[in-house]
Structure 1
Amino acid sequence: MSKLKLGPIDDDKPVKLTLELPAPVHRDLIAYARVHASQTGLSQPLPVERLIAPMLERFMATDRGFVRNRSQTGSKSD
Protein backbone atom coordinates (compact mmCIF):
# COMPACT_ATOMS: atom_id res chain seq x y z
CA MET A 1 0.00 0.00 0.00
CA SER A 2 1.39 3.44 -0.88
CA LYS A 3 1.80 6.07 1.78
CA LEU A 4 -0.68 8.96 2.03
CA LYS A 5 0.46 12.56 1.64
CA LEU A 6 -1.37 13.52 4.83
CA GLY A 7 0.48 12.61 8.02
CA PRO A 8 -0.57 13.00 11.66
CA ILE A 9 -2.93 15.90 12.29
CA ASP A 10 -2.11 18.50 14.94
CA ASP A 11 -4.77 19.46 17.45
CA ASP A 12 -5.20 23.20 16.91
CA LYS A 13 -7.98 25.67 17.66
CA PRO A 14 -10.22 25.65 14.58
CA VAL A 15 -12.10 28.42 12.83
CA LYS A 16 -15.64 27.34 12.12
CA LEU A 17 -16.81 27.31 8.49
CA THR A 18 -19.90 25.93 6.85
CA LEU A 19 -19.60 24.35 3.43
CA GLU A 20 -21.38 21.91 1.17
CA LEU A 21 -19.56 19.03 -0.46
CA PRO A 22 -20.73 16.88 -3.33
CA ALA A 23 -21.74 13.43 -2.06
CA PRO A 24 -18.91 11.63 -3.95
CA VAL A 25 -16.32 13.92 -2.33
CA HIS A 26 -17.82 13.21 1.11
CA ARG A 27 -17.68 9.45 0.46
CA ASP A 28 -14.06 9.77 -0.64
CA LEU A 29 -13.23 11.72 2.51
CA ILE A 30 -14.75 8.96 4.65
CA ALA A 31 -12.70 6.36 2.78
CA TYR A 32 -9.58 8.52 3.12
CA ALA A 33 -10.20 8.85 6.88
CA ARG A 34 -10.25 5.07 7.21
CA VAL A 35 -6.97 4.64 5.33
CA HIS A 36 -5.42 7.56 7.24
CA ALA A 37 -6.39 5.96 10.56
CA SER A 38 -4.83 2.63 9.61
CA GLN A 39 -1.61 4.28 8.40
CA THR A 40 -1.21 6.57 11.42
CA GLY A 41 -2.16 3.95 14.02
CA LEU A 42 -5.43 5.53 15.12
CA SER A 43 -8.04 3.17 16.52
CA GLN A 44 -10.86 5.17 14.91
CA PRO A 45 -10.89 7.35 11.79
CA LEU A 46 -10.94 11.07 12.38
CA PRO A 47 -14.14 12.88 11.46
CA VAL A 48 -13.90 14.18 7.90
CA GLU A 49 -14.12 17.75 9.24
CA ARG A 50 -10.68 17.25 10.80
CA LEU A 51 -9.17 16.13 7.48
CA ILE A 52 -10.24 19.01 5.27
CA ALA A 53 -8.02 21.75 6.71
CA PRO A 54 -4.79 19.69 6.70
CA MET A 55 -5.56 18.53 3.16
CA LEU A 56 -6.07 22.12 1.99
CA GLU A 57 -2.93 23.22 3.81
CA ARG A 58 -0.89 20.47 2.15
CA PHE A 59 -2.39 21.24 -1.24
CA MET A 60 -1.56 24.96 -0.99
CA ALA A 61 1.95 24.26 0.32
CA THR A 62 2.70 22.09 -2.70
CA ASP A 63 1.05 24.32 -5.32
CA ARG A 64 4.08 25.96 -6.93
CA GLY A 65 2.07 28.73 -8.57
CA PHE A 66 0.44 29.69 -5.27
CA VAL A 67 3.71 29.54 -3.32
CA ARG A 68 5.50 31.62 -5.95
CA ASN A 69 2.71 34.22 -6.09
CA ARG A 70 2.44 34.42 -2.32
CA SER A 71 6.19 34.94 -1.92
CA GLN A 72 6.15 37.68 -4.59
CA THR A 73 3.27 39.56 -2.98
CA GLY A 74 4.63 39.07 0.54
CA SER A 75 1.35 37.78 1.94
CA LYS A 76 1.65 35.18 4.69
CA SER A 77 -0.94 33.16 6.56
CA ASP A 78 -1.77 34.20 10.14
Structure 2
Amino acid sequence: MSLRIAQLPDRTPVKLTLSVEPDLASALADYAAIYAKTYGAEEKPETLVPVMLETFLASDAGFKRARKALHARASKGD
Protein backbone atom coordinates (compact mmCIF):
# COMPACT_ATOMS: atom_id res chain seq x y z
CA MET A 1 0.00 0.00 0.00
CA SER A 2 1.23 3.51 -0.77
CA LEU A 3 0.36 6.47 1.43
CA ARG A 4 0.73 10.17 0.69
CA ILE A 5 2.86 10.76 3.78
CA ALA A 6 6.00 8.91 4.72
CA GLN A 7 6.48 7.21 8.04
CA LEU A 8 6.88 9.84 10.75
CA PRO A 9 10.38 10.32 12.16
CA ASP A 10 11.17 9.66 15.80
CA ARG A 11 9.57 12.52 17.73
CA THR A 12 10.60 11.43 21.21
CA PRO A 13 11.80 14.56 23.02
CA VAL A 14 15.45 14.65 24.03
CA LYS A 15 16.06 16.25 27.41
CA LEU A 16 18.92 18.73 27.59
CA THR A 17 20.15 20.35 30.76
CA LEU A 18 21.83 23.73 30.58
CA SER A 19 22.74 26.63 32.77
CA VAL A 20 22.15 30.26 31.89
CA GLU A 21 23.44 33.48 33.34
CA PRO A 22 21.12 35.33 35.76
CA ASP A 23 20.45 38.11 33.23
CA LEU A 24 19.30 35.60 30.63
CA ALA A 25 17.12 33.79 33.18
CA SER A 26 15.52 37.13 34.05
CA ALA A 27 14.96 37.97 30.38
CA LEU A 28 13.35 34.58 29.78
CA ALA A 29 11.04 35.08 32.77
CA ASP A 30 10.11 38.52 31.41
CA TYR A 31 9.44 37.02 27.98
CA ALA A 32 7.14 34.42 29.56
CA ALA A 33 5.27 37.21 31.41
CA ILE A 34 4.87 39.22 28.20
CA TYR A 35 3.76 36.07 26.38
CA ALA A 36 1.08 35.50 29.03
CA LYS A 37 -0.18 39.08 28.70
CA THR A 38 -0.15 38.85 24.90
CA TYR A 39 -1.86 35.47 24.51
CA GLY A 40 -3.68 35.03 27.82
CA ALA A 41 -1.92 31.73 28.41
CA GLU A 42 0.87 31.20 30.90
CA GLU A 43 3.88 29.21 29.75
CA LYS A 44 7.08 28.55 31.65
CA PRO A 45 10.33 29.77 30.10
CA GLU A 46 11.50 26.17 29.72
CA THR A 47 8.46 25.52 27.52
CA LEU A 48 9.13 28.59 25.38
CA VAL A 49 12.89 28.11 24.93
CA PRO A 50 12.65 25.16 22.48
CA VAL A 51 10.30 27.18 20.26
CA MET A 52 12.64 30.17 20.48
CA LEU A 53 15.58 28.00 19.42
CA GLU A 54 13.63 26.42 16.55
CA THR A 55 12.57 29.88 15.34
CA PHE A 56 16.11 31.19 15.58
CA LEU A 57 17.62 28.24 13.70
CA ALA A 58 14.90 28.37 11.03
CA SER A 59 15.68 32.05 10.39
CA ASP A 60 19.46 31.63 10.19
CA ALA A 61 20.23 31.27 6.47
CA GLY A 62 23.96 30.79 7.09
CA PHE A 63 23.28 27.92 9.46
CA LYS A 64 20.87 26.27 7.00
CA ARG A 65 23.43 26.45 4.17
CA ALA A 66 26.26 25.15 6.36
CA ARG A 67 24.09 22.36 7.77
CA LYS A 68 23.03 21.27 4.29
CA ALA A 69 26.69 21.19 3.22
CA LEU A 70 27.65 19.29 6.37
CA HIS A 71 25.06 16.60 5.71
CA ALA A 72 25.96 16.44 2.00
CA ARG A 73 29.62 15.81 2.94
CA ALA A 74 28.61 13.23 5.55
CA SER A 75 26.46 11.32 3.05
CA LYS A 76 29.42 11.21 0.62
CA GLY A 77 31.61 9.70 3.36
CA ASP A 78 33.94 12.67 3.83
For normalisation by structure 2, the TM-score amounts to 0.67
Q: Structure 2: any 5+ residue segments left out of the alignment?
A: 1-10, 73-78
- Corresponding residue for 1:71? 68
CA-based RMSD of the aligned residues comes to 1.9
Letter matched to residue 40 of structure 2: G
Larger gyration radius, structure 1 or structure 2? 2
| Distance change (3 Å), C-alpha of 1:13 and 1:48 | farther
Deviations 1:11-70 (A, max 9, x none): x8632111100000000000000111111221xx31111011100000000011011222
Distance 1:61 1:55 in 2: 10
Query: Higher helix fraction: Structure 1 or Structure 2?
Result: 2
- Identity, % of aligned positions: 37
- Corresponding residue for 1:47? 44
